[in-house]
Amino acid sequence: MSAEATPGAPRVPRISVLTAVYDPPLDAFDDTAASMLAQGFTDWEWLLVDDRSPHPEVRERLRALAAADPRVTVHERETNGGIVAASNDALSRARGEFVALLDHDDVLTPDALQVMVDAIDDVVAEVDDVSDVKDAVPPERAPREVDYLYSDQDLMRRGGQTFDAFRKPDWSPERLRHHMYTGHFSVLRRSLVLEVGGFRAAYDGSQDHDLVLRVTERARAVVHVPRVLYHWRQVEGSAADDPHAKPYAWNAGVRAVQDHLDRVGIPARVEKGERPGRYVVHREPDLTTPVSVVIPTRGSRGLIWGSERIMVVEAVRSVRARSRHEQVEFVVVYDTDTPAAVLDALRALADSDRVDLTLVPYEPPFNFSEKCNLGALHARHDTLVFLNDDVEAESEGVLEQLIAPLREPGVGMTGPKLFFEDLHIQHAGVSYGSGTIAHMYHHAGPHNYGHHGELFMNREVTALTGACVAVRRSVFEEVGGFSEAFPMNYNDVDFSLKVGRLGLRRVWLAGCTLFHFESVTRSNVVHDEEKKRIVRRWGNYLVVRERYSSNVR
């Protein structure tokens, strides 16, 4: 049975809200219905599909809603087909320009639809921030139509109390391959949803993740609305209450991500991550792209794990030992006062281990940026890896892992997870904004999961540390290399933000790991003038919103 809208010319609503219904707790569903009817924005329709709920009271509630409000349409399935079948039934009846996904026991904020419509109209008027735009095109070529929007969310207890707000990062396609982070509240252009085939039964339990992956592959613009607009209710048997409640959904998610990678041409293998709903993407290593590793040094020694070492020699040795890459050169830019014994040790290493080594002298006063730029000028290859001399490769295939994502045109640079000597985290991305310029999770323990698991998933970040970063030469040259106005600190932040201005993604790799014996070779004191200079260039970090760290305010 269907409860139809008022007779006459068909009204085309702006948003069609889709809800598959199957035997929800009635008090929870009443809250859901109340939140829809309380929307300040009124140009909507609500498509409710009952998937043969066993309790007749559910259908009675739905019929009463449809009778009371002509914007509500109810369809009652004759057989139970599951959430995908019910969702597709709702989609087939939708007429709106956009469809929004609402579960049968969750709650929208009263302004949820209005905020989303305002965001759609704002993007149509002017796309002024290209990092939210699909395929990361420069501003002058940015599309003027949004096809997918998502908001922040929190959890709601049975009694109605809300908690655990998830302040999501802005559009982060790499993270979406590891976690269906966009989730609630999702609003999608209906024509595109139909074009990609709607919901698919083979991905039951992760049908939304599969749909959003397919939609965003083609979407012109993807927009994050940084407001909590959706309360995800914890009820017995739900994923909100128990992440282990639906093991079949985790398997379906693996298939969804693997299919996505296959469709977009990324050679990779997907497996389950640390917890349900999390995934690990193992890219096929890039063993053949020629790579130049640029290492600035002054030939310092340090005491590591109780033994003295020449830092730069061990950096070269460990990277070579932990990589199977077929064509790599090391360009070591050394201060002219570097001890001769250090240079001799490097030459001996090159001879004994068949390391392709170029030594470049540097005479001016210390300027990390200038030394990196000089090394790039002497480098022969078109993929560049910049490396501090006080690092040691920890994971296998460190070079091939680091450069593999650069095969994607939208990826501008990559960086690894770095550990201190005691295995606490030194680098997991760098934030700029929301009150800080800082390493995320600095000094966190090696088993710290991170907010929503972000320490165990590849993801976009605002900035990457210059201690280890990979970039294509074309990108390096387009942004003008490292700014020599930052000789000591923030040169990497500035470089990252310049790459971001091109609309290119900066991807942190959780499974590519090195040790960084920070401050063994130099002081890490930051001077006020350096902070003033970065603020003059990129805005006050106290005011600018950090875009890619979870749970930013």
Q: What is the pLDDT of residues 322-345, one digit of tens each?
A: 999 989 999 999 999 999 999 999
The candidate with the shortest Cα–Cα distance to 299, out of 366, 213, 205, 373, is: 366
Q: What is the CATH number of the domain that holds 209?
A: 3.90.550.10
Q: What's the predicted TM-score (pTM) here?
A: 0.91
Residue 256 lies in a domain: no
State the sign of the Cα–Cα–Cα–Cα dihedral 29, 31, 37, 41. negative
> In this predicted model, what pLDDT tens digit does every residue of 262-276 receive, in sequence order?
999 999 999 999 999
Residue 335's pLDDT is 97
Give residue 304's domain range. 291-538
- The full DSSP string for 314-343 is HHHHHHHHT---SSEEEEEEEETTS-HHHH
Residues 297 and 152 in one domain: no
Residue 156 lies in a domain: yes
> In this predicted model, what pLDDT tens digit does every residue of 284-327 receive, in sequence order?
999 999 999 999 999 999 999 999 999 999 999 999 999 999 89
Please return the burial class of 543, using the count of CB atoms within 10 Å of its CB with bins 0-12, 13-18 and 19+: exposed
Residues 176 and 298 in one domain: no
Number of domains in the chain: 2
The yes-or-no verdict on residue 134 having pLDDT over 60 is no
Which of residues 216, 248, 280 is at a domain's end?
248
Residues 244 and 347 in one domain: no
Residue 318 lies in a domain: yes
Which of residues 248, 274, 308 is at a domain's end?
248
Residue 499 lies in a domain: yes
Let me know: does 389 contact 455? Beta carbons within 8 Å: no
Residue 265 lies in a domain: no
Residues 374 and 313 in one domain: yes
Which of residues 227, 248, 269 is at a domain's end?
248
Residues 243 and 358 in one domain: no
- C-alpha pair distances (Å), 534 with each of 123, 131, 281, 480: 29, 20, 34, 16
Residue 261 lies in a domain: no
Let me know: does 231 contact 109? Beta carbons within 8 Å: yes
Residues 358 and 237 in one domain: no
Residues 238 and 315 in one domain: no
Residues 499 and 396 in one domain: yes
Percent of all residues in the chain with a pLDDT value above 70, rounded to a whole number: 91
Residue 4's pLDDT is 42
> In this predicted model, what pLDDT tens digit does every residue of 352-410 receive, in sequence order?
988 999 999 999 999 999 999 999 999 999 999 999 999 999 999 999 999 999 999 99
Measure the CA–CA gap between 491 and 465, rounded to whole angstroms: 9
Residues 196 and 111 in one domain: yes
**What phi, psi does 459 have (nearest 5°)?**
-165, 160
Residue 65 lies in a domain: yes
Residues 211 and 330 in one domain: no
Residues 220 and 300 in one domain: no
Residues 244 and 295 in one domain: no
Give me the chain's average pLDDT, please.
Answer: 92
Residue 7 lies in a domain: no
